Amino acid sequence: MKANRLFIACVSTLALVACGGGTELTGTLSGAAQKPTAVTTSASGSVTVKVDGESLDVDGDFTGLSGNAASAHIHGPVGSDGTGPIFCHLKVPAATSGSIGAEAEGSVTPKCSDVKLTDTDVTNFEGGKMYVNIHTNMNPNGEIRADLTKKD
């Protein structure tokens, strides 16, 4: 009888953890955060990424880019030089200011809204190994960047 109660308690706890709403990560976009070389820019922004099961939700904004945003991505996992490959493409307007979202437009792949996260991906996000980058024609390697960290 005690074993059954213990089993039910464990299953209930795991179910609550699995349905706990995911992990929220945040970051502040700046040229100073750009790696491996900082970019001098007045651009700034913020981003929130929610990792929930196999899916990502992204919300944020930016302002003051040197030119229109050419692209935006989540990159990672981060290498020893502080940079990583494109993980997925984000939606940003071709403008110097605007909103950031997961539903990238056009034929780019993978779109962040379509990504199915693996356990390794979740570990990389939760372990601080992912970042958001917004690229411009003047700064094709990225004008502003935000390293993603768990929200307190």
Q: CA nearest 48: which of 123, 118, 100, 119? A: 100
Burial of 36 (C-beta count, 10 Å sphere; 0-12/13-18/19+): exposed
Query: pLDDT of 12-52, one tens digit each?
Result: 334 434 455 699 999 999 999 999 999 999 999 999 999 99
Query: pLDDT of 99-122, one tens digit each?
Result: 999 999 989 999 999 999 999 999
Residue 80 predicted with pLDDT over 90: no
Q: What is the pTM of this model?
A: 0.85
Domain residue ranges in the chain: 22-150
| Per-residue pLDDT at 13 | 38
Q: Is residue 57 a contact partner of residue 117, using CB atoms and an 8 Å limit?
A: no
Residue 2 predicted with pLDDT over 80: no
Strand ranges, E, within 33-143: 44-52, 55-63, 69-75, 86-89, 98-101, 131-136
Q: How far apart are CA 60 and CA 100, in angstroms?
A: 5
Residue 72 predicted with pLDDT over 80: yes
- Domain 22-150 belongs to what topology? Immunoglobulin-like (2.60.40)
Greater model confidence, 12 or 128: 128
Percent of the chain with pLDDT over 70: 86
Percent of the chain with pLDDT over 90: 81
| Per-residue pLDDT at 96 | 98
